[in-house]
Structure 1
């Protein structure tokens, strides 16, 4: 018998009197949430509800693709969901699989992390949520998933704007690497959203799960939200790609400016070096050699020639 313990990450919920409550043992219409499940929990659920253990393990692989599998006694839906991981004092965005398995009158969700996507369902803050309505539950999860993508995309857009302002004043590798990380995140988001779109198309034609009157409208809303998220991800990806190319050109141009300054300085300093190195050869034929003011004359001549050369180089087309 499946039973939720105090320290386990297997939790069982059921709608009682219009309120979502956590229970200890599953009953008809219950929802079993498996988060970072142990092998014992997976084996127990697989044996109790006659679900293939490989299907229960599938979402624990972060490379698992989104899909809909229809088996003899259950239906499994796997979608990619966004998640946030804090590393080095800042948030990093990625996607992980979430599995929704419908077995007769029980619904099972499996995920490798305790994602915030499911917390409102557990807390009973989702309007119209009922564990007995399995098809609506699936669509509500998918709708909230699409809205989370949109929220994270807006956050990424704001972060890219902040990075743009920083990059205008400094060209440190840290900002550029963060920009590249955001670009990579958007690629992951776009790929996951397109995979989820295929799942939604399959659900729209799936008659295995009972549909409620308002489910069709909810499914259309989910598809619209998912398409909007895909469009936003594509737009932001294009903006970040152009921004990265632009700042790469700016960095290259700044480097050229630095090299231009160093080249002018090098040429300018080479003139007095050449003059004084010739006088260091101790030839009596060198002008001003025996004059008391000879050293001062050499310095003045070197300064004048260096100034003329610097003026010429700063206005030359070769150094602009």
Structure 2
């Protein structure tokens, strides 16, 4: 699905057809959309193929007058293995042509368009639009990081009540999302540094916006590292607790086995079909039972003192 968006000084407004300096936003492109871009704008097919790769890293590539900027943006994932993931969005520019292609439906782009309308932004050049998209992606990283932090807290509360495999798996899935966020943000930062070296012309230099983008990227990256360290420490702590609980259970089971073994051993000696000298004793059975109880009680007291019970 493609949209033609034109900035008239009060944010981006959708148009029915392409005009110079119009932003062509293509989400979940069909074969018809791809053919339109290649025939109408002569977009290099290698650029489109690169964007289609879901594992494509953030980078910049040029071909003739065309410039491809690949940015990784966050989104909620429908996969069971990770609740959040990152996907590539390709930004293709050439003089008055500005095209974005993303093979996934995300919340970032519609939110960005509404934001430009709400703030009445006047975006007139391609570098400013690229910076705004990078800034918006960093904001969405922080939004999803807050959700991840809430999920971590919920999982911790559940684990404090009862350690279940489901909660541990949930935390492991969040850890995977944090690793993806960390890798993508690091790549976005490197790509942003390269963009600054490319767009050196005075008309592109908006120092305040560039500082805001750099600050937001660093904050998102720092937040990812903090949450990742917290989650790693929490999982290590719960792993130690689980190991300690297993050791406690094994000690109790061993103690119980030894206590039960004492009367079994005595009964085995006196239960043999041989002469043992107690055949004619009137209260020999009661004595053996009492002796077994005394030995078992002594073993129990010893294990209590060494805190095995």
- Structure 2 length normalisation: TM-score? 0.90
Q: Closer, same or farther in 2 for the Cα pair 1:286/1:77, shift >3 Å?
A: farther
The match for 2:306 is 316
2:9–2:123 CA contact under 8 A, matched in 1: no
Measured in 2, the distance between the counterparts of 1:17 and 1:145 equals 22
Gaps of 5+ in 2: none
More helix by share: 2
2:72–2:184 CA contact under 8 A, matched in 1: yes
2:85–2:181 CA contact under 8 A, matched in 1: yes
Question: 1:123-134 to 2 correspondence within 5 Å?
Answer: 123=114, 125-130=117-122, 132-134=124-126
Of 127, 137, 141, the residue aligned with 2:133 is: 141
The match for 1:24 is 16
CA-CA distance at 1:78 after TM superposition? 0.7
The match for 1:168 is 160
Does 2:95 match 1:118? no
Of 180, 188, 193, the residue aligned with 1:188 is: 180
Of 99, 114, 126, the residue aligned with 1:108 is: 99
CA-CA distance at 1:165 after TM superposition? 2.2
Gaps of 5+ in 1: 1-8
The match for 2:297 is 307
Q: Closer, same or farther in 2 for the Cα pair 1:242/1:91, shift >3 Å?
A: closer
The match for 2:83 is 92
Of 22, 26, 29, the residue aligned with 1:37 is: 29
Of 271, 275, 278, the residue aligned with 1:280 is: 271
1:68–1:78 CA contact under 8 A, matched in 2: yes
2:108–2:136 CA contact under 8 A, matched in 1: yes
Q: Closer, same or farther in 2 for the Cα pair 1:210/1:31, shift >3 Å?
A: farther
1:30–1:107 CA contact under 8 A, matched in 2: yes
**RMSD across aligned C-alpha pairs, in angstroms?**
2.5
Number of residue-to-residue matches in the alignment: 308
Q: Residue 205 of structure 1: SS of its match in structure 2?
A: helix
Q: Closer, same or farther in 2 for the Cα pair 1:211/1:203, shift >3 Å?
A: farther
